[in-house]
Amino acid sequence: MPGEYVARDPRTGKRIGRKQKSKRKSEGLAALAPSRGPWQALPVSDILPLATGEFSKIEVSSEGMKLTLGRIDAIKALSMVPQKETEGAYEALVEALEDDFPDVRIAALKSLPSFALRRQGILFHCLSDRLLDDETAVQEEAMVCLKKVAPLFPSGCEEILRRELRDTRKSHRDNAFATLNLSAKEWPEVGCLHLDEIIREEDDDLRIRGSLILRTITHKGGAEAWDLISWSLLDQEVRVRRNASKTLTILADVEPRVAAILVESTMGENDRLIRESVIKALKKLDIQSPRVVQMILRGAADDNLEMRRACIGQMTIILSGQELREAAGDLLKNEKDPGLKKRLKSLAADLDFEGTEEEKNRKLAPVDYVPPEGEEESIERPPSMREDDKHQSGRAASEESE
């Protein structure tokens, strides 16, 4: 039986054993390895000799079939070698990464993520070179490799990622931002580090792409993430501001005080999509906060119809009684929209004086029932009756007794 690879957590150095209960972690480790293939059938003792060229070919049995495997298969299996052969396997992998044949370099890149859990050395330097490889197929495999290793080794890949984010080739830039997003999920501080640099760039495309990652760091990025959101909300490029505004509803749950400040500073935006995000966030804020109350009242007089409609809809929650009527009356003086004018008129009206008879009587409490003289106690009585009903009941009882 081939010896097993002992995987270790790159953060703690502790062994990641088979008894690990987390399915997610085990799936993550499997994702680092090359895709399943004949290389898995190699005897552990033959992997290193075959990878270094000491053996040219060996025959193995896999699923009842006889297969002939060579160096490329052994390179893919390098992470399976026993612990005592780690150094030799590392040297073989570095050599393969610099090999003249593209297929060998590609095989080495497939093996790099899982092997890096055991030893890094200059592997990331080699990865950086392969991203600049002359062969397109090697570059593509290097991009796949970067996406796997960057979330595990953010420091080792920091400079590589910084360069790839600014690469003028669309495929490289696309891959780099996808990699940064994955890294930011695991290490929010890594996302903040790169975004802090990106939002200062003159290249609009960089800032637009970077602002898409703001949502990833909003939950756990802390004060640094809030600053990045604040700065992005002031960006000259509207698409950057739009992306930043989408974090406001998340921020309203994470840090409502900061969200209130940012919502207040963004309420004057002219862009429709940004206003929609601001309105959604405004509805999630604490309406007991005096700051939020003032924001809603100012928004109810905003030049934008949608903002006015949303804030007027909130007024019945933050105000009542005379305060509500006075605020609605003031707004009614300048409101032009027919629908909102009708709504404000209903809020400004004092039903005690201007309402119908039924509306005026709604607040009156029912009169207590007084039984007529001589009525037996056993008769079931209604809990309350109006005065005119009582008089009618009394007359009926008198006539009946006569």
% of the chain beyond a pLDDT of 70: 80
| Beta carbons of 108 and 90 less than 8 angstroms apart | no
Which tens digits make up the pLDDT trace of 192-250?
999 999 999 999 999 999 999 999 999 999 999 999 999 999 999 999 999 999 999 99
CA-wise closest residue to 203 among 175, 177, 230, 229: 177
Give the mean pLDDT of 361-382: 58
22: confidence class by pLDDT, cuts 50, 70, 90: very low
Q: What is the pLDDT of residue 2?
A: 38
Average pLDDT over the chain reads: 84
Give the CA distances from residue 240 to residues 161, 309, 398, in Å, rounded to whole numbers and listed in that order.
Answer: 21, 26, 84
Give the mean pLDDT of 356-380: 58
Give the mean pLDDT of 265-289: 90
Partners of residue 60 on adjacent β-strands: 67
14: confidence class by pLDDT, cuts 50, 70, 90: low
pTM for the structure as a whole: 0.76
Assigned token pair, 273: 């999509």
Q: What is the pLDDT of residue 18?
A: 39
314: confidence class by pLDDT, cuts 50, 70, 90: confident
Contacts (Cβ under 8 Å, ≥6 apart) of 299: 267, 282, 307, 308, 310, 311
- pLDDT of 9 higher than 50: no
Q: What is the pLDDT of residue 124?
A: 97
- Give the Cα separation of 345 and 334 in Å (integer): 12
Instruction: Please count the residues of the chain.
Output: 402
397's enclosing H/E stretch is helix 387-401
Which tens digits make up the pLDDT trace of 180-206?
999 999 999 999 999 999 999 999 999
Residue type, 102: P
Q: What is the pLDDT of residue 401?
A: 46
The residue ranges of every structural domain in the chain are: 1-149, 150-247, 286-372+384-389
Q: What is the pLDDT of residue 106?
A: 97
10: confidence class by pLDDT, cuts 50, 70, 90: very low
Q: Which residue has the tokens 């209960």?
A: 21
65: confidence class by pLDDT, cuts 50, 70, 90: confident
The SS3 assignment for 60 reads: strand
Q: What is the pLDDT of residue 402?
A: 44
Assigned token pair, 5: 């690879």
Q: Between 30 and 187, where is the model more confident?
A: 187
Give the mean pLDDT of 8-18: 48
Give the mean pLDDT of 12-24: 46
For 65-117, the three-class secondary structure string (H helix, E strand, C coil) is EEEEECHHHHHHCHHHCCHHHHHHHHHHHHHHHCCCCHHHHHHHHHHHHHHHC
Q: What is the pLDDT of residue 131?
A: 98
- pLDDT of 47 higher than 60: yes
- Give the Cα separation of 268 and 79 in Å (integer): 57
